[in-house]
Structure 1
Amino acid sequence: MTSPPRPDDAHPYLRAASAGIRHHTRTLAPSDGDLPQPGDRVHLDALHAHLTALFQLLDRLAGRTRPSHPAAGRHLATAHTHLWQVTSEVHAAFHLLPGTPQADAEPRACHPERLPEGPPVLTICQRHLSAGHTVRRKTTPTDLRPHTTTCVR
């Protein structure tokens, strides 16, 4: 006879990802007297990959939850939209970092062929464009406008 899983045993990979983010956040904190180091392209690329994976997870959760719990599904869909906005801003920041050819280009322009190392198989731009297809299928331009929400509790 097996006992029901404890809540903290559920979704171990998500817990590990969250722990990794907490660890990384702590390691970025400057030591006494040290100046904080700015982010770099590699850091933002890894963060964008994480956000994109989370974006895809929220997309699936919203789709599965909406039929049986419409109100909860709408909240997850709103979180999905907000996460896309965050992902877009990280992508834009990637292109504005010093030393990248895109720094002088328009912030929203995406040109993977102009990356210093050339267009590899999967760049931040290709990942972003791929996730953008999901956004265009499931949201309207009105949904993507910045807006505020209030807690209903």
Structure 2
Amino acid sequence: MTSALPVGDAHPYLRAASAGIRHHARALTPHAEHTASPADRVHLDVLHAHLTALHHLLDQLAESTRPPHPTAGRHLATAHTRLFQAAAAVHDAFHVLPAADKTPTDTECHPERLPEGPPVLTICQRHLAAGHVIRRKTTPSDLNTPLHGHTTTCSQ
């Protein structure tokens, strides 16, 4: 994916993260000699960390863009909401996958135990923090509404 915009050094870390994701997606593409392996909890934990970092970035961009450009700010706020929905789906998938070890573990989120909880709950801590941010800025119906009615057209 390339952009027609000039590529400078303004956002090198974001470009590097995007390149890393593209590389990872290519590496997961099944080749003739093997099939792609299914996601595991470690993979989903790292993906969730990436999604929540993007969630935080979009929150900041929406807040700073909204005053001078209200329409663009609203679109970024919508993307912020949809990204939280994606992170929520990854969080849910994490909890339905079996644990890596065969010892019985409690895989449900228990907010009352998070600060002292087992390492597996770091995804829950991260998700709860992102949930607090999104719930201050959106309504429950916004969180449950699928993306529709997008009318912006691309222009050159």
Q: Is the 8 A contact 1:52 1:131 kept in 2?
A: yes
- Identity across aligned pairs (percent)? 64
The residue that corresponds to 2:95 in the other structure is: 95
Residues 96 and 102 in structure 1, CA contact (< 8 A), matched pair in contact too: no
The runs of at least 4 consecutive aligned structure 1 residues that moved more than 6 Å come to: none
Counterpart CA distance in 1 for 2:57 and 2:19 is 18
Tell me the secondary structure at the aligned position of residue 7 of structure 2: helix
Partner of 1:48: 48
Which structure ranks higher in relative contact order (CA pairs < 8 Å, sequence separation ≥ 6)? Answer: 2
Say whether the 8 Å CA contact 2:41–2:99 is kept in structure 1. Answer: no
Q: Does residue 1:12 correspond to 2:2, yes or no?
A: no
Once structures 1 and 2 are overlaid, which stretch shifts more, 45-54 or 133-142?
Answer: 133-142
My pick for the range that moved more, 11-20 or 140-149, is 140-149
TM-score (norm 1): 0.82
Give the letter for the 1:136 counterpart: R
Name the counterpart of 1:63.
63
Give the corresponding residue for 1:146. 145
Calculate the aligned-residue CA RMSD, in Å. 2.3
Q: Write out per-residue CA displacement over residues 46-94 of structure 1, whole angstroms, 9 at most, x where no aligned residue.
A: 0000000000000000000111111100000000000000000000000
Deviates more, 1:118-127 or 1:53-62: 118-127
The TM-score normalised by the length of structure 2 is 0.81
Alpha-carbon shift at residue 33 of structure 1 (Å): 3.8
Contact 2:62 2:73 in 1 (8 A): yes
1:63–1:37: structure 2 CA closer, same or farther, 3 Å change rule?
A: same
Unaligned runs of 5+ in 1: 1-5, 104-108
2:109–2:121: 8 Å Cα contact kept in structure 1?
no
Gaps of 5+ in 2: none
